Structures are given as C-alpha cells and as structure tokens.
Structure 1
C-alpha cells in the first residue's frame, strides 16, 4: 500500500481499517491463517526444486561412476573444464529462458496452471536426464536445459502466487518462505549426494545408482507438486483481472475462513479490484494498442514494457541499480561455490571425495541458518548496511583463501591445517552471503520500481540474475584449473566493487513510499501520478464509502484516535 504525509487519503484509512480487522503480524498470525500458510508451504515445493537443482550437480560431478560414464566430461582432465562448465551452467541458461516466459505464462494460463506447466516441464527434463544411463551426455545436457526452464519459471511464479493468496499481515513471511525453501533444497541435495556416494563403494567400482539416485529423487516432490496444484485455489487477483469477480470473492472468503459478506473480505476484494483496474488503465494510456486482454497482447506487453524502462534517465538509473546489483550478487562467486563445492574442497587438500562431500553438506546448513535472521530483521537494519557488510565479509574471505592457496598449493598433504583453514573461510563466505546478498538483492530489485512498472522491472532484474548465473557456472571450471588462486582474487575484487556500488550508488530503500522512491531516483511525479490514479479508482469502486462507515473521517482520513493507534503500532514495531 502507498501513503504519504502530504496525501493521507484512502490508503491510510484502508491500511488502518484492515489492520484493525486482521490483527497483528507474527507467528500467531501464521497459526490464525493456517490454511493460507499451508497453501504457501505446498507451493514452495517449487522453491525446493530450484534449490535442489542448484546444489545436486556439484556432488554428482565428482562421483567416479559419473566421470566414468560421461567419458569426455571427466572432471579431472584440464582439457574438459569448458565442457564441464557447460554441463553445469546450461541449467541457468534454461532458467533464464524460462524466466523470460514466466510472466506471460502466469498471466495467460493463471498462476495455478503456470505452476502446473512449469512443474511438467521440470519433470520432463528430469526424465530425460535419467535416460543418460543409455543415451549418454547429450541427454544430460538437454535434460538440464529443460529442467532449467522449469525451475526458472517456478522461481518467478511461486512467490507471485504466494503474495496474491496471502493476507497482508503474513505476506512478507510467506514470500520469504521461497528463499528458505531454496536454501533447504540446496542443503538437502548436498546431504543426499553425500549419502548416495556410498552406493557400490566410493572408488572405481561405484554403482551408477550413486549419481542417478539424486537426479531421479527430485521426481518425487515434483510429482507431488504437479498433482497437488490441481486442488489449489486460483489467485484471487488473477480471477479479478480476468473478470471472474464472483469466483474471486468466493475464493478470497475461503482463504480467509470468513463469509463472503464479511467487511475484511469486501475491503480486500475492492483493493484487488482497484489494483487490476489501475494496471488496465495504465496499459491503455501507455500502450493503447495492447489494451485488449488477449494472450498475444499479454506476450508482447512483457517486452514493450521492459523497453519503456530505458526511456528516461531516472528510470534508467533504476534499471542500473536492479541489473548491476544482480550482476554483483552472482559475481560474489556464490554459485561457483554451490555448483563446484566438492571440486573446490578437493583443490583445497580434501583428497577424499567423501570428505569433500561432507564439507559441502556443511555449506548447505550454514547457508540455510544464515538466511533466517535476515528474513526477521532486514526491515529494521536496512538494505545498504547489510549488503555492504556482507560484501566486505565475503571479499575478505576470498582474499584469505587466495593467500592460503598461493602459499600451500601442491603441499596440502603436509599442510592439512591450511587446507581446513581455507575450508572454514568458504563456510564463513557462505554465512556472509546467506544473511546479505542472498535475500537483500531480491528485496532491492522488487521495491525500487513505480507501481506501473514493477512487474517488468522485476523481470529485468531476474533476467540479469540468471544470465550472470549462467556465465559464472560456465567460466568457473576454467578459472579454477587455469588461474588457481587467481579465481578467488577475481571474485574478491569484484565483491569489493559490489560493496562500493551499493554504498555510493544504491539508495537506502527501507520504509520508503513510492513517492519517496521518486525523489531519491530523481523522477518526481511518476509515483505521484500512479497514486492519484489509484485514489481515483478507489473512490470510483466504493472503497471510500466503506471506510466512511467504518470510523474514518468523511474524506477517508484517519480519526485522531486511529492515528494515535497507528503511531503506537509503528513505534512498537521499531522497538
């Protein structure tokens, strides 16, 4: 919701009235909204699949049976490092492609069926990978690309779905579940790799089931999601946007566990309707040839709208913040660690593949635990200090690892303590990423846009994330084999640059309204115009009338008693 001190109006009144009706946020609110919490948890299986795919292949690459089966993809031969990079990073190329199509798919087919389609694509990719036992490495390459298309779409549609079914008091927590599900998937994949590595022994006689099992296991949660999503509700927002208002009201009442004529249901329904009308009128004003809601126009709108982000200096600055932040997020080297952790640990002197897989499992645990405090406290601490401190911490870890390798490379057997010190630095690096650039980069990308440009701006930021993810996955094997400790120097220098970029170029965005975003990005009036259009729509559909009978002033402003309650609640939140 949007509100300013200069324009109190309907937004202030709607926000406070809904807060009074729905109660406070926190764990108790999740229990109160258990139906929605359960739906969001189930949808986050998509996040688990995303995280599992990010982590599982790192262990598979080092398994002797996989190396023997793939032949010219043997990870121990320097001439094959580029091919190994393709084998890993082609997932991200597919995810980039899937991300670009996910907005259209979610709008044309619905969020519900968008998840269904993306999960079906994911399952197809896994099935193709499982045929690699007879079809060879081309099946792995093709299967991972198709699987990537699925996880790329899921990474966009699942948070969108959760945000649209959630009541406002738990929306942030339910969206954050996606990040925790991703980290949980990474953690689980590392430990499954560690366990299946023992199938048939850990040497030359290792069974091919050792690497096929972790690949095939992801079919189980995918099939559960594919079947279960059929019984999930449609997004009320999608239903309203496609003129199915009676069905939307019914679904919304069911999600809230309230009768359809309840004031809270009516209030939220009208706010959803207002948002839908706002988007339709914005499209009609900016792109009148696309105003008709057809599948083809929806597809074209994604690209036309992204192009509009480059037309003004102020909007282009937002583009730079979003895309460069995602550039630096990937060039911290986090996915180099996730994709090649066992290989990296082996290069640091952990000669046993079993021990390197064990050290990799710790990476998953550290990253999962480090994400939790950021989800809880980021709105209190702010984005800039957390991102800056996290970047400096990661960069220092990279530099220390580079120094350790430069002094001890080739002498790990007699300097095992140095090897374990480097491993500890990798764990500390993952900790710094978990609380900072993991969640915070996505928060920045989501909140810097005016209301009318937000979906397309987020899509552009996500595109930068996946493309740089692909490049990092592609070049990391060549860097490790070619420049050794220089790999960590490169990541360290770039991460220091990321800290500087955030500190000097990215504005602090916590607790800012859209109008205040306009001021700091130098585009005064953009969000104000959006706000005025939304205010006009709210009056038109009768939201102001509801609020007049609910204890607010006749013009939609807060009464003195309500304003004091709002201030008290904000002060309690800040404490």
Structure 2
C-alpha cells in the first residue's frame, strides 16, 4: 500500500487520501484489523480446528481484497483494509501454530520459519510488481481536459484538480491489479488445505484418538501400528490429559492469569524498497536452514545487536547531515545501506524466530489462546508504529532511530537473561520445561504427569528407545520406493 499511495492515478482517484496523517491511518487500518483477527482466531481455531479457521480467514481476506481493488471511495478503501487485515491477523496466528503442531521436533524451527520466508517473498514480489506497474501508461496521470493546470509549481500533481478526469497516462490498473493479485496465494492456500490433515494435537484435544493416529500416520508416512508413531501419539495424549486436569483444577484463576499479562523520486523510493525485499528473502534463508542447528537464542541475540547498531549508525549519519543532504548524497546512500542492513538482521532473526518461539512457550491446552494474544499484540504495535513513525521522524528526527535502538538493545538483553533455549524439544516436553526443572517444578504437576504416563504405558520410556524401529521403518519405506521404481 505504501508504494501505491504515491501513484498519481491513485491520488487522482482519492484526493482526500493524500495527507500524511490520513495515509498513516490507511496503512495502519490493516494492522488494526489484524489485531482483532489474531485475537478472535484463538477462540475459533480451538472451536472449529486450525484447518477450517484458515479457510474462514481466506473468505474474510477475499472480501477485504475485493473492497480494496474495486474501491470507488476512500471509505470503501478503508473498509477493505480493515476487513482484509482481519483475515491477515487470523493467518498470522493460526498458520505457524498449525505448522508447529504437525512438525517433528527436529524440523519445527525450519518449517515455522518458512512462514517468514513466504512473507518476505510476497513482500518482495509486491514491491517489484508496484515498481513495474508504476510505468503502465506512463509515470504521470496527465488528466484529460486539464493540461498544465493539474500540476503545481513544483511540477507534481494536484489531486483535487485531477479528480474526476480520466488519466491519459498512468492507468488505474497500476494499483488495482497489485491489490487483486493478493487473491492468488490466498486461494492456493484454500484449496491446498483440503489435502492436509487436521492438527493431531487439536484432534486429541477433541478426544478423536483414531483420527489423531490417522493424521500422524499421514504426516510421518508411517503405518498406524508403528511403535515410533504410537509413542508420539501417547506423548500427545499424555500432554492433553495433563493440561485438561491442570486447567480443570485452576480454571478459577484463568481470568486473573490472563489479566496480569532525503530521496524524493517515486521511482527511486520504489527501487530502494524493492532491494529491501530481495535482501529480506535472501537472509530469511539462514533461519530456515540453520535455526534448528544453532538454537533460537543465538539468532535472536545476534539479530538484536545488529539491528541496534544499524539504528545507532543511521542516527549518527542523519544527525550530522540532516541539514545538508543535497551536498552529501553519499551520506544519504550510507543511511539507506544501513537501513538495508537492518532489514537483513531482522530477516534472519526476529522476523522468523519469534514466531517459532511463540509456538513453543505455551502448554497444549492454552496454545491457541496464548498465540492469539501474542499475534494480536504484534499487530497492535504494528498499528501504533505505522500511525506514529511518520510524525516521530518529523518531530524527533534522528532521535527516532535512537528510540528504536533502545528497544532492540532491551530485546537482546531480555532474550539473554530471561528466555530459555527451546531448540529440539517436543511441544510436550516444553509444557513441563517451562514449569521449571526437575527440582523446582510443582510436586502436584510432577505426580500428575507420572500417573498419566504410567496409565498410558509411557513411564520410563524415551523416544530414543524407538530409534531401531524408526530406522527399520525408514529402510522399509526406501525398499518399497525402490520396488516401485523397478516395476
């Protein structure tokens, strides 16, 4: 939307949306809708499943996108942004949770990181699509019947004069088509979900044991009577039983627990933004490939340090040359370079890793609600930042970068001192892990889990005990594949 706002055809259609304040609200409207969508989907994904809540999100997102690409007034565009944002917020909450719940522990970080990679790929495509569509028919509106009069003394378009006149240059398709194309990945998701199973953990929460085993069998490509698969099924069942008993005991306390919780050219701007998108794609890949090798804390702390340093350097450059940019063009490009470097540090760390960690810190019974609160918090702060940053830059100037640098530094310190490493642990292990270690976890919880494990025949067993079974199953699958190839 940021790239579309500066297109002259768009300005001629919506002259009332050219002020910085109203544009801030238009951009932030999506985050406001996303905040509600993420919060609402915590309930819905528990109620109708992770799978079907994604389908509902696609429908809502489609309505919002239709309102945006077909908008004839500013109000219609605002409504589309809010409705579309609800769908996006629902996606942001349920997709990484579904990925985490279907993934084996050793691949969970990489698979959940793929969401952030998909986001950066989509963002990059949208930037370059906007850049290309910016040239459709020309880069200027050239309104029919008002030659010259539509331009001010600086040679830029006067939207109110151009409004109501057909643009002979830049076409409406320049901004309507990019908005409409959002529907393609949404509907790929919609139809693709018909081929994927329900979350095994959600099925177990609904006491659909046979369906849980069938879903695990499809996901792990193992027969239903495989010992390794049965062990995973029983671990999930034990965790769900533990959470249900704990929740039943403490549900009078649940409400209190949650209550406590310098470049002016449009073309140059679009080009610079497109480079940012490419860098974000490239540097999201380290999280996908190496997150499960080096751990969550390493990526988060390194990224926080990098982002903080970039903010400080940009603040220093801007503070030094803020009144002399025309004679210090190289300094301006240096600032842009460190903004790009900031995007790089975000792309491999806080962008993907925080979503991975979010899926790992809540017990099974509260995961959807917890994730929805985290996701909605993310969107409400996106809303606040989108609404205020423009004014902060105007009033605080380089101090804005110092402000955000402080938060990056605090984030790194928080991770170092407070956040535990969650790498390569099953979600069920983490339920206990976050309650404390073997010496500090509550005796009642320890006894409850021990009793449930004995009841299910899991007492004293480790997943490693089934390593031989797993190796045999893999060899059997490979032999079957070779047989098929021979035939």
TM-score of the pair, normalised by structure 1: 0.68
Q: Give ranges in structure 2 of 5+ residues lacking alignment.
A: 142-168, 469-487
Q: 1:100 aligns with which of 21, 31, 39?
A: 39
Alignment of 1:212 with 2:125, yes or no, is no
After TM superposition, give the deviation of residue 531 of structure 1 in Å: 4.6
Q: CA deviation at 1:497?
A: 3.9
Residue 308 (structure 1) aligns with:
257
Contact 1:382 1:508 in 2 (8 A): no
Q: Check whether the contact 1:403–1:485 (CA below 8 A) recurs between aligned residues.
A: yes
Output the CA distance in 2 between the equivalents of 1:518 and 1:110.
Answer: 27
Equivalent-residue separation in structure 1 for 2:17 and 2:439 (angstroms):
51
Matching of residues 174-253 of structure 1 within 5 Å = 174-204=111-141, 205-253=169-217
Deviation at 1:285, TM superposition (A): 1.7
Spell out the pairing of 1:153-168 with structure 2 (5 A cutoff): 153-168=90-105
The answer to whether structure 1 residue 354 and structure 2 residue 267 are counterparts is yes
Q: Which moved more, 1:236-245 or 1:89-98?
A: 236-245
Partners in 1 of 2:192 and 2:232 — Cα distance?
26
Q: How far apart in 1 are the matches of 2:228 and 2:299?
A: 36
What residue is the counterpart of 1:85 in the other structure? Answer: 24
Most deviating of 405-414 and 191-200? 405-414
Q: CA deviation at 1:95?
A: 0.8
Alpha-carbon separation, structure 2, partners of 1:392 and 1:356: 27
- Offset at residue 446 of structure 1 (A): 4.2
Residue pair 2:96, 2:356 contacting (<8 A) in 1 also: no
Across the aligned residues of Structure 1 and Structure 2, the Cα RMSD in angstroms comes to: 3.2
Partner of 1:60: 4
Give, in angstroms, the shift of residue 420 of structure 1: 1.4
Q: 1:73 aligns with which of 8, 11, 17?
A: 17
Contact 2:113 2:355 in 1 (8 A): no
| Per-residue deviation, 1:445 | 4.1
Query: Residue 99 of structure 1: CA displacement?
Result: 0.9
Call closer, same or farther: CA 1:391–1:258 in 2, change over 3 Å: closer
Residue deviations 1:181-225 (CA, integer Å, cap 9, x gap): 122222222111111111121123321211111111111221222
Deviation at 1:373, TM superposition (A): 1.8
> Which residue is 2:337 aligned to?
424
Gapped regions of structure 1 (runs ≥ 5): 1-56, 75-79, 289-303, 312-318, 320-347, 545-554, 564-575
Kept in 2: contact 1:451–1:530 (CA 8 A): no
Q: Any conservation in 2 of the 1:81–1:481 contact (CA below 8 Å)?
A: no
Query: For structure 1, which segment, 170-179 or 210-219, has the greater mean C-alpha deviation from structure 2 after superposition?
Result: 170-179
Pair 1:523–1:108, CA change in 2 (3 A): farther
How does 1:105-124 map onto structure 2 within 5 Å? Answer: 105-124=44-63
8 Å CA contact retained: 2:241, 2:452: yes
The equivalences for 1:553-568 within 5 A come to 555-556=460-461
Asked if the contact 2:89–2:375 (Cα under 8 Å) also holds between the matched residues in 1, the reply is no
Verify the 8 A CA contact 1:384 1:506 in the aligned structure 2.
no
Q: Does 1:374 align with 2:313?
A: no
Match of 1:537 in 2: 452
Q: How do 1:472-487 and structure 2 match up within 5 A? A: 472-487=385-400
Pick closer, same or farther for the CA change 1:532–1:198 going to 2, 3 Å: farther
Choose which of 286, 292, 306 in structure 1 pairs with 2:250.
Answer: 286
Contact 1:282 1:452 in 2 (8 A): no
Partner residue of 2:278?
Answer: 365
SS state of the match for residue 140, structure 2?
coil
Contact 2:107 2:292 in 1 (8 A): no
- Return the alpha-carbon distance in structure 2 between the equivalents of residues 248 and 501 of structure 1: 37
Give the C-alpha shift of residue 386 in structure 1: 4.0
Which of 81, 100, 118 lines up with 1:144 in the alignment? 81
Contact 2:57 2:88 (8 Å CA) reproduced: yes
How many Å apart are 1:516 and its aligned residue?
Answer: 5.8
Deviation larger for 452-461 or 474-483: 452-461
Distance in 1, Cα, partners of 2:466 & 2:225: 27
Which range is displaced more, 221-230 or 92-101? Answer: 221-230
Q: Given the superposition, is the C-alpha separation of residues 381 and 206 from structure 1 closer, same or farther in structure 2, using an over 3 Å criterion? A: same
With normalisation by structure 2, the TM-score equals 0.80
Give how far 1:242 is off: 1.9
1:410 Cα deviation after fit: 5.9
Q: 1:196 touches 1:210 (CA, 8 Å); kept in 2?
A: yes
Deviation at 1:154, TM superposition (A): 0.9
Q: In 2 relative to 1, CA 401–219 (structure 1 residues): closer, same or farther, beyond 3 Å?
A: same
Name the CA shift for 1:166/1:556 in 2 (closer, same or farther; >3 Å).
Answer: closer
